[in-house]
Amino acid sequence: MDTHSDRALLDDILSGADVTLDGPDPWDIQVRDPRFFRRVLAEGELGLGESYMDGWWEAEQLDEMIARILRAELDGKVAHAWPTRVRLALAMLTNLQSRRRAFMVGERHYDLGNGLFSAMLDRRMNYSCGYWAGAHSLDEAQENKLDLLCCKLGLEPGMRVLDIGCGWGAFGKYAAERYGVEVVGITVSKEQVALGRRLCEGLPVELRLMDYRDLEGTFDRVVSVGMIEHVGTRNYRTYFEVAERCLAEGGLFLLHTIGANRSSSSPSPWIDRYIFPNGKLPSIAQIGRAIEGLFVMEDWHGFGPDYDRTLLAWHDNVTAAWPALASRYDERFRRMWSYYLLSCAGAFRARHIQLWQVVLSKGGVPGGYRRVTS
């Protein structure tokens, strides 16, 4: 095909989402390089993201553009390039989240620099969805989320809590300060451990650099916030077996995760290449199969639309802080990071992906579990 034919075909596909090439609406795509048409038609999601990073197109409301495309399910109407098909096959045939590869996401994402994440996140350094009920700021939404976790877990002074995927220790610090518990948190990021230990200094919070499969010990409660997304389909059962092994009799495990509407063993090609290597969102069915015979599912709470608002707040923070960050990160990185945050916001807005908090018990709560919201 020539450029004119490529443009006409792509314009026809996008019309199903009310998105127009060089159109008047803020969610329309403004093309800066005619190579964009062929690249997207040939490479799909990966080509769309990479061509944005290269400055080949703009959209005033990129998040809304993505939301419209996903609502119309146009993501399946363009071809996958052969590197993407190879990656999908590898995800099905191999364990991309093996012990040997466990620290890759820490090195390539979470170790990008504490300065970047400090500028982007709330004052407590939560890198997960806030809970916006009654909140008027990102700080309030994230504190709401932390308290929601603590209340759902029924924390009491003196309890010992395991945090699988602790980040910079935001949960551990909050739970120790407000609820008088002792927390052990683990992460695969050296940068998170270094800063997290300073933030939690003087509190009964221990942060460890380790793979979850090496965990030992017994804890009254277990929490895992935004970590199972890095575990991989082949390892879900092992992940829950570790949590069950570490949980005391009568204890509760709270899983906070982004979720997929459909079961799949393959990652998003653009997110996999540029943001979270080897990442994979679990589905309801996959979680259900993985916990069977290990836990009683006591509660399942979804608030995915809150992630849309959280991501937009992060994007606003990065945009405001960019003059101070620009000396370390180049323009292509800025566009990559912007595309990451805004495209994910659009995906949550379209309800293409979800956010769940799942409370699991070891043996069932006598008399039943009652959800608390604050």
Enzyme catalytic residues: 344
Q: Are the C-beta atoms of residues 164 and 139 closer than 8 Å to each other?
A: no
Helix, strand, coil content of the chain in percent (nearest 5): 50, 15, 35
Dihedral sign from CA coordinates of 65, 71, 72, 78: positive
Cα angle vertex 286, ends 283, 292, to 5°? 135
Rounded CA separation 303/348 (Å): 10
Which amino acid, residue 130?
Answer: G
Both tokens of 173, joined, read: 């610090």
Task: Using only the alpha carbons of the chain, give its radius of gyration.
Answer: 21
Q: List strand residue ranges (DSSP E) for the chain, in order.
A: 30-31, 57-58, 160-164, 182-187, 205-209, 219-225, 247-260, 296-302, 353-361
CB contact burial 87-125 (16+ within 10 A = b; e otherwise):
bbeebeeeebbeeeebbbbbeebbbbebebbebbbbebb
Based on the number of CB atoms within 10 Å of its own CB, is 198 exposed (0-12), middle (13-18) or buried (19 or more)? exposed
- Give the C-alpha separation, 247 to 363, whole Å: 11
Cβ pair 243, 164 in contact under 8 A: yes
Contacts of 72 by beta carbon, 8 Å cutoff, 6+ apart: 16, 17, 18
Are the CB atoms for 160 and 219 separated by under 8 Å? yes
